[in-house]
Structure 1
Amino acid sequence: MRVVVQRCKEAKVTVNGEVTGAIGEGLMLLVGVTHGDTEKDAAYLAEKIAGLRIFEDEAGKMNFSVTDTGGAILSVSQFTLYGDCRKGRRPNFMAAAAPAEAEQLYDYFNRELVARGLQVGTGVFGAMMDVSLVNWGPVTLILDSRG
């Protein structure tokens, strides 16, 4: 699994003009699933993200996690994280997991975040979504369960 983590002041996702998820301060996550990913990968990333110290303390050092600050998560499925652009001009998405497999693991990942005490908003899996955020810092990290 691969997750793009963006520290944000606010973020929201809209599907067909309807807001399906919105948060204030917290983390905006773009979540991709590849072949062979398991619940172990999802749990690992949920634990890592819940404890990732990327929020500043009073001295300006990144010492607090989203859990520490009481921030929320906006999690959006993103199969294009596994787009391969090495050949030609059109990305190849063969490395992305099949939709049924990816949706199951994406849902499990979100439940793992909730189990860690986090408020989690989402988009709609497989839908055309409009995603907006105010990236705070900016701080953007890429996490991969396979190192």
Structure 2
Amino acid sequence: MWAGPCRPGRTGRASGCHPQRAPGRESPVESRGRTERGAAPLAPAAAMKAVVQRVTRASVTVGEEQISAIGRGICVLLGISLEDTQKELEHMVRKILNLRVFEDESGKHWSKSVMDKQYEVLCVSQFTLQCVLKGNKPDFHLAMPTEQAEGFYNNFLEQLRKTYRPELIKDGKFGAYMQVHIQNDGPVTIELESPAPGAAISDPKQLSKLEKQQQRKEKTRAKGPSESSKERNAPRKEDRSASSGAEGDVSSEREP
């Protein structure tokens, strides 16, 4: 499987390199939303994407050298979009490490994650997951440019290692032309996608939860502050007569 962005000595889209946008050129994401009178958006929302495969073994070769290999575990192909932030990164790390694609000790399927089983993880940067077709031609301008993507990808690996066991996280070689050998177990292949920034919520449960929260806020605003809170916030007034009377009573009790 070809997963590397560049062939040596070649540049640009023809080689599959991370896209280098021409100066002044507007990306599809930047132009999204500028439509005419209710027309459909010009481009889909960008989001981080991952293809997770359950494997019995997987490896990465660059040239004639094998640079990474794992036994049983998962192979992750990661596509970083130009709008991704630390929030999307952390969301994807949690999803990948907690994805239940393994069976438990009793043989029950979809019960254990790679962390539960203490298996290995092989990650490969795969910008072509950000492909948008223009007719039959793939366009990759939703992918994060190389200069930013490399640092972002390294941060992703670091977050995986912090969350899991560092020695069990392996990766390919960013920016290299790689041969990725995957022995898919099952086969089991799961596609993951982070919530796009500003994307609409479509999960009915999540929508219902948000609606209830909004209703509670509106009721609170309509009622105003409660009586108890008014009492707590009101300045205290000293009752000098009561105070003096109480003191007099105490002193009189002490006198014979």
**How much does 1:89 deviate?**
2.1
Unmatched 5+ residue regions in structure 2?
Answer: 1-47, 197-256
Amino acid corresponding to residue 83 of structure 2 in structure 1: G
Contact 1:4/1:140 (<8 A) preserved: yes
Post-superposition shift, 1:145? 1.0
Q: Which region of structure 1 is more displaced relative to structure 2, 42-51 or 25-34?
A: 42-51
- Higher RCO (C-alpha 8 Å, min separation 6): 1
> Which residue number in structure 2 is paired with residue 136 of structure 1?
185
Q: CA RMSD in A?
A: 1.1
More strand by share: 1
Q: Which amino acid aligns with 1:137?
A: G
Amino acid of the structure 1 residue aligned with 2:182: L
Counterpart residue type for residue 77 of structure 1: S
**Amino acid paired to 2:129:** L
Residue by residue over 1:26-78, the C-alpha shift from the partner in whole angstroms, topping out at 9 and shown as x without a partner, is: 11000111111012211111111111111012233211000011101100000
- Name stretches of at least 5 consecutive residues in structure 1 with no aligned partner: none
Q: Describe how 1:22-101 pairs up with structure 2 within 5 A.
A: 22-57=69-104, 58-85=106-133, 87-101=134-148
> Could you say which residue in structure 2 is the equivalent of 1:123?
172
TM-score normalised by structure 1 residue count? 0.94
Bigger mean CA deviation after superposition, 57-66 or 94-103: 57-66
Q: Distance in 2 between matches of 1:141 and 1:59?
A: 20
- Identical amino acids, percent of aligned pairs: 40
SS in 1 for 2:55: strand
Kindly tell me the number of residue pairs found equivalent between the two proteins.
146
Q: Secondary structure at the match of 2:111?
A: strand
Other-structure match for 2:28: none
Q: For structure 1, which segment, 50-59 or 28-37, has the greater mean C-alpha deviation from structure 2 after superposition?
A: 50-59
Q: 2:151 aligns with which of 104, 111, 116?
A: 104
Q: Greater helix share, 1 or 2?
A: 2
Post-superposition, which runs of at least 4 consecutive aligned residues in structure 1 deviate over 3 A? none
Aligned pairs (5 A) from 1:10-25: 10-25=57-72
| Amino acid aligned to 1:17 | E
Q: What residue identity is the alignment partner of 2:67?
A: T
- Give the distance between the partners of 1:79 and 1:62, measured in 2 at CA: 28
- SS of residue matched to 2:181: strand
Query: Larger Cα Rg: Structure 1 or Structure 2?
Result: 2
Residue 4 (structure 1) aligned with residue 58 (structure 2): no
Return the offset for 1:132. Answer: 0.5
